[in-house]
Each structure stands twice: as structure tokens, then as C-alpha cells.
Structure 1
Amino acid sequence: MPPSTGLAPPSPLPEFVYKITPDAPPAPIPEAYPLSDLDRQDGFIHLSTAWQIPITADLFFNNTPKFYILKLRLSNFDLQKVKWDEAEGTNGCPHLYGNFGGNDVVDVRVFEKSTAEQKWSEVLKEKDEAAWLV
């Protein structure tokens, strides 16, 4: 059983949560998604809500010129395994104590910076990207 964090989930719950990965996801996406070293080490999958994506990207992927975002339907998961943990600059990030697979992925998009100095929050504010993050 995942540890209790004391943070209540947001209300209403978001329809989607997102996974940022610097590597292209496998095609097709397997039933059990390959865990990152950080996810394996921490014992859960780091996810973000739509509004958290620019914060997460700027904090943890600042030096990454390109990454992929997997859009996951939150209702596909046992919500007892999704904990809302405190994280820098947020009101609580969703962490999945388990795994996801191809059936949970609604869409995948690649995002690229046009310059090394560009912030991810700028890239993600562009009209098409902002509309995709709901």
C-alpha cells in the first residue's frame, strides 16, 4: 500500500494526467510501460496535471532540448494507487504507485525548444500545445 501523504486530491479530479519522458516511448506502447530510473528509485511514477507540466518541465527538464508527453486518462487507474504528494511549486503532484500501459495512453506528443535558452513554459504556451494540455 502506498504511503499516505496527507494531501487531498484536487476537486474535481482532472480528466488527464501526464508523463514527461526525454525518450520516445516504445511503439507500440507495451502493457507495462518501462520505468525511468527515477520512478524505479522512488517507487512510483511521477506524473503531472496539465497546469503543472510547464512547472515540471522548467524544473526538471530545463537542459533537455526535446521531450515527449504521454497523456493518460486518470479514470483508468485505481485511484487508491494515485497519491497527491507535495512537490516544489505545486499543490500536489499525482504519483502512480503502480504502472500504466498502452491502453491508458490517450495520446503522445513531442515537444522541442527552438533555442537552448528557451523555457519550456514558453514552448507549452503556444496555442496548439496549450489546447492539448487540458
Structure 2
Amino acid sequence: MKLTEKMSYLQGLLDGLEVDTSTKEGKALVQMSDVMQEMVMYVEDLQAQVDELTELCDILDADLGDVEEEVFDLDDDCCCEDDDCDFDDEDEMYEVCCPSCGDTILLNDSILEEGSMECPNCGETLEFDYDDLVIEDAEDPEDTDE
């Protein structure tokens, strides 16, 4: 039962009681009924405004999501501009700091194998060179006595 329906029911009860308005109690009951009727109307108006604002917030939230996708190009947290750049959960990730803007970029092996990429923040070309890298096998200290 809505608040307005409850108030109408209460008003009907008071009318059925034939409250004597010449007594102090009768005057108080009629006055309380009038005040409650005004409060019900005020609450109904506030509820309508809240519903309207909630709908507006939902629309603005959806629009903001569209703007974020367009401006920040949020494609599943991909750091490169290529659409075919998908990271698997099993890929080992590397962090690279752009020397120009200082932005930290997440990379996987496939991006490193390409040899270079543009920084998504400033557009600086970042190059990766494997020629100078030496990968050492981890040996147990016991195996060095051979």
C-alpha cells in the first residue's frame, strides 16, 4: 500500500469517527491529519524528483562510459594501439618506463619480439634490442663441481 493510499484510509477512519472539532482532542486530531496529508504530498514530490535524478544519473554514467572508452581507448587493458594485441593470462608481463613521458607500459613477449612500439601516452617510439642480452641458466651450487 502506497503512502497516499494509507493517508486516504486514515482520513476515511477519522471521517467515520465523526471527531468533535469543538474539543481539544478533536482539534488536535484534525490538525495532525492535515499536517500528515501535507507531509505525504511533500514526500511523494521528493520521491518523483529522486526517481528523475536517478534516471538522469544512469544516463550520464552510460554517456561517461562511452566517453572514457573513446578518449582512453580502453580495450581490455591493452597497452598498444593494435587491435590484434591480446594478452593471455598466461603471458609473462614486463613493465617498461617511457624515457620521454615516464609512463609505465605493460608488455608481453609478442610486443617485445616486434622490436619496437609507440608509447600510447606520448607517441615516442620505444625500441627493444635482444642482441645485448645474455640469458644465464640457473645452476645449483652442487652442479658446479663437475
Q: Relative contact order, CA 8 A, sep 6+: which one is greater? A: 1
TM-score (norm 1): 0.22
Greater strand share, 1 or 2?
Answer: 1
- Rg comparison, structure with higher value: 2
Larger helix share, 1 or 2: 2
